[in-house]
Structure 1
Amino acid sequence: MGTVGTILKLFSITLGVCLSTIIIEGPKNAFVLLNSDATFNCTVSQPWHVIIWLMNSAPVLTIVPKGPIVTDPQFGQRNYTTQDRFTSELVITAVTLKNNATVQCNLQTDGHQQARLFVQVAGMVFFESKISSVVINQSTDIVCKAESWSPAPTISWTINQTAVNAKMYTNTFHPASEHLYNADSTLNLTLSANAEVQCLATIKALPQPRTAELFITVKPLFDFAANQDETWLIVAIVVPIIGVILLIILIIIIVFCIKRSKHTESSYQNELRKISRKKSLEATGNGLNNSGLENFGMSTESMPSSRQVDSWPGSMSNDALETPEGPTSNRGTQKAAINQYIANIPTYPRKTRHVTAV
């Protein structure tokens, strides 16, 4: 009985081990473009009780036979069930650069298996300058630029859909920011016939490389020289014409300024003439009213006396205006002479005394 019991115990242990849940196939590394969805599969044997998905050792989704327990809307689950196995598919929507992490499928009875999520950024690819033609059998450098990629892209070239030997071009890479990179690729090209040239940039998350294309025409040397001569001819014609037009505009501006200056000066002189003419007319009118005998610097109320003169302007003295006493019959003649002399004295804006002739 003891032997039978031991055998049954060992059988039950072996059966329990065989019936325990195991991970048949764990998740695989995934390369995903920024803002797209990432998926990971974990296949376990039946029966199973709990599956836990973790990112960087932090639980993000728990699966039980009744369904998933969602704690973060970015993480969801799809499942595929057969008679002997169960597959849980973890779905991470709109991945960001922060989701670059280790993804782990965990079972309580059989440890765990893990993989890596790589979130990548596909940037732009373009030619530094679009070359449309080259001289036959003449070496030409063509530069292709790739900007804002993560990680740095792999750049290659094709000519007429045929891959170019890597020795014909050189690639350089430099960081554009904390997570992004730029790349320059220079192809040394010598063509003997027209060709379609492609620059290809790719990363693992891209299903197809991003490309930039050029169709380059090959021209004989004399055609190329003729095109250069035509360019110089156009320049030689256009530049003098522009110079003449600018000179004409400058002359018009100068003439306009001169005419305007003369007009201003003429108006000023006309105003001066008007003022001068007005003053002359006023002076003439005042002279006619006083019969030409009025002295504007003196009062006409009284006349200076031959015996009483206090002061005169200028260098005149009292003695020069004094008249000697004479006969009474000559006084009329002396009075007329004094009046005539006073009328001829210049006017000064000075204070004068008036004398009365007796």
Structure 2
Amino acid sequence: MRTFKLLLFFPLVVAAKVLLVPRERAVLRGSAASYNCSISVPWVVMSWLFDGSVGLTISMEHGVLENTPRFTAVNYTTNENYKWEFTIRNVTRKDSGEITCDVQNIQSIRANLSVQEGGTVSILGGNLTVKHGDQAVFVCVASGWFPEAQVYWSMNGTMVDTENYNTSVEAIGTLLNSTSTLTVSAVGSAQVQCLAKVPALFIPQTSSVFLIVETNLQADRTVLIAVTVTFSLAALVVLLLIGIVLYCKRKRAKQSNYQEEVMSHRQSGEENHGKDNPGFTTDGHESYLSNSEAANSSQIPDISQTNSNQQTDFKTHEGMTTTKYRHQTIV
């Protein structure tokens, strides 16, 4: 009879399987670490052990037999699966090691816990100003980490090749300090970041400074002068062309006005050609003008006002008849 019971129990042990997740866990000192232990067949007692020592015991019938401030368990059992979540709070470096979920008479399975410490990170010296083309050197110190911090660099958000920096580690008590030196060629200003992390730290700690690259001021001035002179010459040429065009237009306009005046004078000269001289007299008798001729004569300037030298008197010797001629030139 006993042999039959053992044969019935043996297939149950073989078929049952205990699942423990996660199998590897890294947390920061002072935080909490949780594990899930589950089984698909009925069980009696589940124990949680730290390096072989029992930390918490759970009964399928009564639940957690004893809760402590550091160790707790929560039941997440369903119809198809028996599942308990075990949590250890305020972990210390001493808690690092092996975690075991032991289901009595069924299976025992192990996981690892790593308690780590995150320190500080800082780039020494702050912002750096160098001349274009020179070498820029940055030093980053990650202090108070455990285990060794992973240190890496970025410039303007792009990761720097590991060939451009080297890192050394120094132990200070139970913690580790890392010093990383980055050397780059200064080709342009950029934001430089030093990042440090350990597996338990999801977001790395960072320190940022700026690389400021000075350009060649003399070269910039030369370029500025060259550009200024070029634009000045171009503007001068444009102004000269505009002046020449305006001068040619004005000269043509003057020539056109002059030609019109000449034509006007010629036409007026033809109209006055062949008319009687209103100031002409013969032998002391004045010739009388008609009304129309008198009207035209009013347009002729006064002879005495124009040129008195144009009147010439001719006299003969004593005893001869005297004849006076008056000449007037019409222009």
Q: Give the distance between the partners of 1:200 and 1:111, measured in 2 at CA.
A: 43
- Residue 135 of structure 2: aligned partner: 139
Is the Cα contact below 8 Å between 2:43 and 2:104 reproduced in 1? Answer: no
Q: Give the distance between the partners of 1:15 and 1:85, measured in 2 at CA.
A: 22
- Residue 92 of structure 2: aligned partner: 96
Do structure 1's residue 122 and structure 2's residue 118 form an aligned pair? yes
1:156 CA drift (Å): 0.6
1:110 CA drift (Å): 2.4
Do structure 1's residue 217 and structure 2's residue 215 form an aligned pair? no
CA shift digits 1:241-282 (9 cap, x unpaired): xxxxxxxxxxxxxxxxxxxxxxxxxxxxxxxxxxxxxxxxxx
Q: Give the distance between the partners of 1:22 and 1:98, measured in 2 at CA.
A: 33
1:46 CA drift (Å): 2.3
For the aligned residue pairs, the C-alpha RMSD in angstroms reads: 2.0
Is the Cα contact below 8 Å between 2:37 and 2:84 reproduced in 1? Answer: yes
Q: Give the distance between the partners of 1:83 and 1:91, measured in 2 at CA.
A: 23
What SS does structure 2 have at the residue aligned with 1:83? coil
The amino acid that maps onto 1:23 is: K
Q: 1:68-217 counterparts in 2 under 5 A? A: 68-70=64-66, 72-177=68-173, 179-217=174-212
The structure in which a higher percent of residues are strand is: 2
Q: Give the distance between the partners of 2:47 and 2:18, measured in 1 at CA.
A: 15
What SS does structure 2 have at the residue aligned with 1:70? coil
* Identical positions, percent: 30
Identify unmatched segments of 5+ residues in structure 1: 224-358
CA shift digits 1:212-249 (9 cap, x unpaired): 111222112559xxxxxxxxxxxxxxxxxxxxxxxxxx
Do structure 1's residue 32 and structure 2's residue 27 form an aligned pair? yes
CA shift digits 1:118-141 (9 cap, x unpaired): 000000000111024221111021
1:103 CA drift (Å): 0.4
Q: Give the distance between the partners of 2:17 and 2:51, measured in 1 at CA.
A: 20
Is the Cα contact below 8 Å between 1:60 and 1:71 reproduced in 2? Answer: no
Q: Give the distance between the partners of 1:101 and 1:13, measured in 2 at CA.
A: 36
CA shift digits 1:283-305 (9 cap, x unpaired): xxxxxxxxxxxxxxxxxxxxxxx
1:45 CA drift (Å): 1.9
- Residue 23 of structure 1: aligned partner: 17
What SS does structure 2 have at the residue aligned with 1:98? helix
Q: Give the distance between the partners of 1:221 and 1:34, measured in 2 at CA.
A: 52
1:29 CA drift (Å): 1.3
What SS does structure 2 have at the residue aligned with 1:35? coil
Q: Give the distance between the partners of 2:66 and 2:139, measured in 1 at CA.
A: 50
CA shift digits 1:12-68 (9 cap, x unpaired): 766544445833312411100010000111111221111000000000000112111
- Residue 54 of structure 1: aligned partner: 49
TM-score normalized with structure 2 length: 0.61
What SS does structure 2 have at the residue aligned with 1:167? helix
User: Which of 33, 39, 42 pairs up with 2:37?
Assistant: 42
Is the Cα contact below 8 Å between 2:39 and 2:83 reproduced in 1? Answer: yes
Is the Cα contact below 8 Å between 1:60 and 1:72 reproduced in 2? Answer: no
CA shift digits 1:193-212 (9 cap, x unpaired): 11111111010000111111
Q: 1:296-335 counterparts in 2 under 5 A? A: none
Q: Give the distance between the partners of 2:131 and 2:184, measured in 1 at CA.
A: 11
Q: Give the distance between the partners of 2:66 and 2:33, measured in 1 at CA.
A: 17
Q: Give the distance between the partners of 1:79 and 1:192, measured in 2 at CA.
A: 61
- The alignment covers a number of residue pairs equal to 214
CA shift digits 1:86-119 (9 cap, x unpaired): 1121100010111112100112222311111100
The amino acid that maps onto 1:121 is: E
Would the alpha carbon gap of residues 17 and 84 (structure 1) be closer, same or farther in structure 2, given more than 3 Å must change? farther
1:71 CA drift (Å): 5.7
The structure in which a higher percent of residues are helix is: 1
